[in-house]
Structure 1
Amino acid sequence: MSALTEATTSDLTVRKLHPALGAEVRGIDMRRPLDPATASALQAIWMEHLVLVFPSQNVTDAEHVAFTRYFGEPEIFHQKIIRSERVQEIFRVSNVNEDGVLMPPDHPVAQQVALAQFWHTDSSYKDIPCTGALLHGVEVSRTGGETQFTNMYLVYDALSPALKRLVDGRKARHNFGHMHSQAALKPLTEEEKAAMPPVWQPIVRQHPVTGRKALYISPIYNDEVEGMSADDAKRLIVELTQIAADPRFVYTHRWETDDVLMWDNRCSMHQVTPFDPRERRVMHRTTIVGQDRVMAG
């Protein structure tokens, strides 16, 4: 356990949540400006624990966006049906519309949001994927709806020698349109297809800050693997996903209202556990624009 985990850094108290990843951070009020020393300390804590939990953050969307800017530029999502109409940097992971009305389970937005119940890493389908994300629990569910995170550094380390030989130096395709083939979603518009053409990313990547190797897959977007038939590619992604889902590597977060979670998409995957779609669940996310192309590990 590191000094950052054991002690208080400035006014920050850090408590480890799982052996593999995840830490609760207290001593932050996201409504107030961060001084440079605190912002630097948070960055170091984030790199160590991959997922940070900030409890009791009763922030507005504007305050959420402003806090995100300490870590990078907030992304404006390319799909209007998910993006907030009121604060464009907010990505709405919600089965409730912006007028507060619960959507039926067969509503196109509710169906797309439900695909978060499969393992993925955000914006892997971009040439330069995002750095990370911050998710605010505005209305949380009690019938499920936990968010699970897996440490992809440890997943890569745990691969057998044969699997490492298979994935090292190989690329997988990340196709935003593939997600739409896995549910009865409205087809992408030509504008959306043009905005998000498929990209090929290394299956093993090197983190640009820590230098560590991590497995880099995103099963809801992966539809091809370099040098493999479609069936073999599908089997490989399934096998790697099963390893990533091992409880040794997974932290499960049970939400409380006004929790804010921040995670590193360069070395983790996440998914949401199922919940009753008749229960309101409103989560607002900001996404940190990436700075670096994926570097092969």
Structure 2
Amino acid sequence: MTIDLPARVQLRSARVPADGIFEGPRVLRRLPEGVDEKPYELFGLNPLGAVLGAEIEGVDLADPLSPELRAELNRALLEWKVLFFRDQRITPAQQRAFAANWGPLETNPFIPKGDTDEVTRFARSASMPGFENIWHTDVTFRPNPALGSVLRLLQVPPQGGDTMWADMAAAYDNLPADVRQRIDGLRAVHDFIPGFDRFSDLDVLAGWQEQFPPVEHPVVRIHPETGRRTLFVNQAFTTHIVGLDRAESDRLLRLLFTQAHVPEFQVRFQWRENSVAFWDNRATQHYAVNDYHPHARVAERVAIAGDRPY
């Protein structure tokens, strides 16, 4: 039996791709609706991607920020989602002081510490490989996930070790209308265990279950400052969607997880020693490329406490 052309076209248009990525033109809207492009007066800005990622020039993170500079950097963070600073020879205390301009700092009990509890240290080598090569948003297992993070590279491998970020507002914008309609209003469960059971002792994980029980967050969160709808599920910590049976939840999550893989929504940063990245954890996912072993890669991160997603 043959299928007439209109029916075949209808079947083709209704098909969800096996890899979850829909081909065709992308809507690459960097700024929120109604926001116009404005120049930056207090620093230079060099865009690295279409929707996110920009290098900032002329700012020394060792110096205290004036209210005017802090406000303009915050506008750049909201508009570009991840900011990069080169040649920043700062101390951990100066890194913490810079991050504290955006709010109280949080701690992470699962990652080794730097000079204080607020600094987490990622020291990767042949004997201690990294497990951050998965698209994720930091600490969504908390009721109030981090607002953002400031990451500084202390030791860079001779090649490799890049980090990638994906704009999850662009990912939401480019979902088919029926998928957006389906997920608006849904909630999903986030749990720390899937993200840490790969390299933590199960007895240690069990000891943290009372302090970090699973939490629910909206599948699509509203960014508290820009108002944009942002896809807010990630492969590291999101376990299932509330109200759906497991098979349907798994199918839908696989589709949503895959949207971070679209190159048009991404920026890739090549580190140099003393480079710093500052990203909006409410709007992005990131992925640490694990292609540098057996060489060492050492980084320290400070995270800023966030608010409850809505």
TM normalised by structure 1 equals 0.87
Aligned match of 2:193 in 151, 156, 177?
177
Residues 122 and 265 of structure 1 are in contact (CA less than 8 Å); yes or no, is this contact kept in structure 2?
Answer: yes
1: CA distance between counterparts of 2:71 and 2:82? Answer: 16
Measured after TM superposition, the shift of residue 191 of structure 1 is 3.1
Q: How does 1:227-238 map to 2 (within 5 A)?
A: 227-238=243-254
2: CA distance between counterparts of 1:35 and 1:139? Answer: 30
Aligned match of 1:61 in 92, 98, 111?
92
Gapped regions of structure 1 (runs ≥ 5): 96-101
Does 1:40 find its partner at 2:110?
Answer: no
Aligned to 1:137: 153
Number of aligned residue pairs: give it.
Answer: 277
Residues 240 and 253 of structure 2 are in contact (CA less than 8 Å); yes or no, is this contact kept in structure 1?
Answer: no
RMSD: 2.0
Q: Which amino acid aligns with 2:41?
A: T
Residues 141 and 212 of structure 2 are in contact (CA less than 8 Å); yes or no, is this contact kept in structure 1?
Answer: yes
Which stretch shifts more, 223-232 or 51-60?
223-232
Residue 4 to residue 30, structure 1, CA distance change in 2 (3 Å): farther
Aligned to 2:49: 18
Q: Which amino acid aligns with 1:233?
A: S
Measured after TM superposition, the shift of residue 76 of structure 1 is 1.8
Measured after TM superposition, the shift of residue 74 of structure 1 is 1.4
Q: Which amino acid aligns with 1:34?
A: L
1: CA distance between counterparts of 2:272 and 2:51? Answer: 22
Residue 229 to residue 82, structure 1, CA distance change in 2 (3 Å): farther
Residues 135 and 260 of structure 2 are in contact (CA less than 8 Å); yes or no, is this contact kept in structure 1?
Answer: no
Aligned match of 1:168 in 174, 177, 184?
184
Q: Any idea what the Cα deviations from partners look like across 1:194-251, whole Å, max 9, x if unmatched? A: 2211101101010001111111012111111112222332222221122221111000
TM normalised by structure 2 equals 0.84
Does 1:211 find its partner at 2:240?
Answer: no
- Sequence identity (%): 28
* Structure number, greater radius of gyration: 2
Aligned match of 2:240 in 224, 242, 254?
224
Aligned to 1:98: none
Please give the secondary structure, in 1, of the residue aligned with 2:188. Answer: strand
Aligned to 1:70: 101
Does 1:104 find its partner at 2:123?
Answer: no
1: CA distance between counterparts of 2:174 and 2:257? Answer: 13
Residues 149 and 270 of structure 1 are in contact (CA less than 8 Å); yes or no, is this contact kept in structure 2?
Answer: yes
Residues 193 and 205 of structure 2 are in contact (CA less than 8 Å); yes or no, is this contact kept in structure 1?
Answer: no
2: CA distance between counterparts of 1:153 and 1:75? Answer: 25
Residues 167 and 203 of structure 1 are in contact (CA less than 8 Å); yes or no, is this contact kept in structure 2?
Answer: yes
Residue 229 to residue 115, structure 1, CA distance change in 2 (3 Å): farther
Aligned to 2:20: none
